[in-house]
Amino acid sequence: MQFLALVYVDNEMLEALPAGEPDAMMRTCLQHADALKADGKLVGFQQLEDASTAKSVRIRNGRTRVVDGPFAETKEILGGFNVIEAADMDEAVRIAAEFPWARTGCIEVRAVRDVDAVRRRVGA
């Protein structure tokens, strides 16, 4: 079963860390990713560019509106994601708890929906 681990970061907390600590966390993160990949537990992962580079697109009443940034009502912003393979939610949460970014943000774990099952259901 696949799970998406969304990595939210609090830039204020990261900036408050001692010099070199964010890079040390990244090294740990990449080593952990390599180990999970070798164990068949990590399908893939990516980091996202800073939220200041984002655009949000909304269509309402047939009109498209594009605005700068995600404008989330939170200090934590989406910084990246991991697609992990786990037997169940408990294992996925255990894996996510090993990510160093849980110390300075939040790791949201969500099951990935089976799109092929959805296609069959809707006849697409």
The string of pLDDT tens digits covering residues 45-57 is 999 888 778 888 7
pLDDT per residue over 80-120, tens digit each?
999 999 999 999 999 999 998 888 888 999 999 888 888 89
> What is the number of structural domains in the chain?
1
* Residues sharing a CB contact under 8 Å with residue 55, sequence separation 6 or more, in sequence order: 66, 67, 68, 69
Residue 35 has pLDDT above 90, yes or no: yes
Q: What is the mean pLDDT of the chain?
A: 89
The CATH number given to whatever domain includes residue 18 is 3.30.70.1060
The boundaries of the domain holding residue 54 are 2-122
CA separation for the pair 8, 105 (Å, rounded): 5
